[in-house]
Amino acid sequence: MPAAFPLPQLDDVLEAAARIAPHASVTPLLRADALDAAAGCALLFKAEPLQRGGAFKFRGACNAVFSLDAEDAARGVVTHSSGNHGAALALAARLRGIPCHVVVPDGAVATKLSRIAGFGAVLHRCDATLEAREATCASVQEATGAVLVHPYADARVIAGQGTAALELLSQAPALDAVVVPVGGGGLAGGTAIALAGLAPAVELVLAEPAGAADARDSLQRGERVPTFAPDTLCDGLRALLGEPNFRILQAHAPAVVAVEDAETVAAMRSLLAELKLLVEPSSAIALAAVLAQPARFAGKRVGVVLTGGNVDPDHLPWGQA
Amino acid sequence: MPAAFPLPQLDDVLEAAARIAPHASVTPLLRADALDAAAGCALLFKAEPLQRGGAFKFRGACNAVFSLDAEDAARGVVTHSSGNHGAALALAARLRGIPCHVVVPDGAVATKLSRIAGFGAVLHRCDATLEAREATCASVQEATGAVLVHPYADARVIAGQGTAALELLSQAPALDAVVVPVGGGGLAGGTAIALAGLAPAVELVLAEPAGAADARDSLQRGERVPTFAPDTLCDGLRALLGEPNFRILQAHAPAVVAVEDAETVAAMRSLLAELKLLVEPSSAIALAAVLAQPARFAGKRVGVVLTGGNVDPDHLPWGQA
């Protein structure tokens, strides 16, 4: 875990938006009559699967990479992530023309690794433990001087992820609530900062797998759960809530809805059938949270951030008839 | 086949755009770096699966329904289509608050019929022959006074379908080519009219199943093929090119690329994996046509109209690993 740093503020999110504008997509807002009818509310989907790299993660990675001064940038960046953050950082580094190192645990999915390598990053394999990942990361830093860009416990990353909420607020006026998934808390933290600064009346609701509900538990206890064993299909939401992310969320006090994986898979299928969008389980959970609590959302205008769509079409989590 | 009518002109397409604006979505333009790389050109996808009703067909149906004077409208509309046009007409009629009758052949897919019925249309079943469909349609017209809105051989429908190209031209300046699928020729005809009027330097390319290549054959012969037996997975492209549609296309002289179904299925899978969009085989064929003729499109800016996304996620045309 990186050293403590000042929590990002609204200005950091606004600066991130300007910084990433030449590189990132303004993703469209999508709607589907049938999903509105099923949910009993107006659903405005922020379609981050259509972001470059296929996930919102490019926002934070791009902000981090283009925040670096020339000297730091020349030494490159490093992270540990076999998922969307690794690919996003690799893409951002390629756009800036600097080296990128990604530490990947043994057993990571080959297609995900080839995406990261496809964006030009150097892969460094290690054992599949948190200790091994951090040690390998540290040794890459020492050897190369590369700057660590943590997947979520990083002020530049949090500010970058908050730009999705900025866009959502401008595309969808008069929202009553915004629902985002929570894992490490980069997106949740950035969204909380954007809403607190620009639309404090909009309720923030976090969707979290029932089998990885450490954010809910941490916020309930008022103290960050230090460790847990995730058990969920949502591979993007297995991380422990970051320490700075926890502090941001504690100040905002969002609601957290815990969702069973079966509800998430059903929502993923509905999003494909009705919105025509392929999303990861870690995204579909946001719709599942709305459908799980109809009374909370009835009649409201609800922004839903669909975070990523990097799914293998040959391995969809429901049966083919 | 309805009686002959004057062919629609650019003004009709522009009027259609204004008429449907309160009801239809301006669908987003989507891009994917990986597909550009695979195709060797810049691909700008017009995402009509995100249109209301899940397909571009709502444009033509909506234009037809809202073109009617109050007296005609009150008697309702009728068509024969068990696919996207039937659902689109039902939705448009519901929005105007008028009756809609849809003649559907025995053996039509139950999920498609329930979509049409779900939009409030009255279903009229008949034998699965063209004669039975036209006879049933005529008897519904006689009994109810409903106005026939043919799926493609209708000036209002052709003009409405052309609005997709209007939007594409404004969203994607400086295109070199536009690729659209061709079946009955409503979209192809409307697109030809829009391009001829507003962007005559943009090449029009039609994508047609090799197993239903009557548009290619008709344009080559200079005479409309009167009948044929389609053999293709692309259920939206099995119709015979309409007579007015043929005349419009003959004047425009587009290129036609015939595509094998296997190439179409591969393109459909790529669009899901890389663009994150679920499209029908009848849409994916447009990308397949580009990939099949790399020399024709190399280095160009190519608008590709993805026409619809009404696919059952439980019956995708490729295997699950």
Residues 6+ apart with CB under 8 A from B218: B224, B225, B241, B246
A137 located within any domain: yes
Indicate whether B197 and B241 sit together in one domain.
yes
B42 membership: H or E segment, kind and range: strand B42-47
What does the pLDDT read at residue B112?
A: 83
Q: Binning pLDDT at 50, 70 and 90, where does residue A83 land?
A: confident
What does the pLDDT read at residue A321?
A: 73
**Residue from A276, A310, A311 whose CB has the most chain B CBs within 10 Å, to mutate:** A276
Which of A95, A123, A154 is at the close of a domain?
A154
Widest Cα–Cα separation across chain B = 56
19-78 in A: which are within 8 Å (CB) of B?
Answer: 25, 28, 30-31, 33, 49-50, 52, 54
Indicate whether B225 and B96 sit together in one domain.
no
Size of chain A in residues: 321
Say how far residue A246 (Cα) sits from the centre of its chain.
Answer: 15
Which of B30, B315, B321 is closest, CB to CB, to A50? Answer: B30
Task: Tell me how many domains chain B contains.
Answer: 2
A233-261: burial string, b at 16+ Cβ within 10 Å, e else: bbbbbbbbbbebbbebbeebebbbbbbeb
What does the pLDDT read at residue B1?
A: 47
B2 located within any domain: no
Per-residue DSSP letters for B70-120?
HHHHHH-EEEE-SSHHHHHHHHHHHHHT--EEEEEETT--HHHHHHHHHTT
**Which residues of chain A have a CB within 8 Å of the CB of B309?**
276
| Structure letter (DSSP) for residue A177 | E
Indicate whether A173 and A269 sit together in one domain.
yes
Do residues B102 and B78 make contact, with C-beta atoms less than 8 angstroms apart? yes
What does the pLDDT read at residue A256?
A: 98
Indicate whether A257 and A131 sit together in one domain.
no
Q: Does B309 touch chain A (CB under 8 A)?
A: yes
What does the pLDDT read at residue B320?
A: 78
Q: Are B313 and A313 a contacting pair at CB < 8 A?
A: no
Percent of chain B's residues with pLDDT above 90: 90
Indicate whether B69 and B122 sit together in one domain.
yes
> What is the CATH number for B75?
3.40.50.1100
Spatial CA neighbour of A306 closest among A21, A40, A56? A56
B318 located within any domain: no
Indicate whether A281 and A237 sit together in one domain.
yes
Q: Does A313 touch chain B (CB under 8 A)?
A: yes
A5 located within any domain: no
Could you read off the pLDDT of B227-261 as tens digits, one per residue? Answer: 889 999 999 999 999 999 999 999 999 999 999 99
A123 located within any domain: yes
Closest residue of B to A320, CA-based?
B314
Could you read off the pLDDT of A263-283 as tens digits, one per residue? Answer: 999 999 999 999 999 999 999
What does the pLDDT read at residue B83?
A: 87
Could you read off the pLDDT of B141-177 as tens digits, one per residue? Answer: 999 999 999 999 999 999 999 999 999 999 999 999 9
Indicate whether B173 and B241 sit together in one domain.
yes
Indicate whether B207 and B299 sit together in one domain.
yes
Three-state SS at B27? coil
A150 located within any domain: yes
What does the pLDDT read at residue B321?
A: 73
Could you read off the pLDDT of A154-183 as tens digits, one per residue? Answer: 999 999 999 999 999 999 999 999 999 999
Which of B278, B318, B320 is closest, CB to CB, to A276? Answer: B278
Mean of pLDDT over chain A: 95
What does the pLDDT read at residue B244?
A: 97
Indicate whether A84 and A191 sit together in one domain.
no
Amino acid at site B91: L
Indicate whether B93 and B179 sit together in one domain.
no
What does the pLDDT read at residue B82?
A: 75
What does the pLDDT read at residue A1?
A: 47
**Residue from B27, B115, B276, B277 whose CB has the most chain A CBs within 10 Å, to mutate:** B276
241-280 in A: which are within 8 Å (CB) of B?
Answer: 269, 272-273, 275-279
B1 located within any domain: no
Asked whether the predicted pLDDT for residue A197 surpasses 50, the reply is yes
Which of A25, A30, A269 is closest, CB to CB, to B313? Answer: A269
Which of B153, B178, B207 is at the close of a domain?
B153
CA dist B152 and B86 (Å) reads: 12
β-bridge mates for residue B79, sequence order: B102
CA dist A298 and A289 (Å) reads: 13
Q: Binning pLDDT at 50, 70 and 90, where does residue B3 land?
A: low
Domain hosting A133: range is 58-154
Indicate whether A35 and A179 sit together in one domain.
yes
Indicate whether A169 and A290 sit together in one domain.
yes
B77-99: burial string, b at 16+ Cβ within 10 Å, e else: bbbbbbbbbbbbbbbbbbbbebb
A283 located within any domain: yes
Could you read off the pLDDT of A28-68 as tens digits, one per residue? Answer: 999 999 999 999 999 999 999 999 999 999 999 999 999 99
Which of B102, B132, B153 is at the close of a domain?
B153
Closest residue of B to A31, CA-based?
B50
Could you read off the pLDDT of B11-69 as tens digits, one per residue? Answer: 999 999 999 999 999 999 999 999 999 999 999 999 999 999 999 999 999 999 999 99
Q: Secondary structure of chain A: what % helix, strand, coil (to 5)?
A: 50, 15, 35
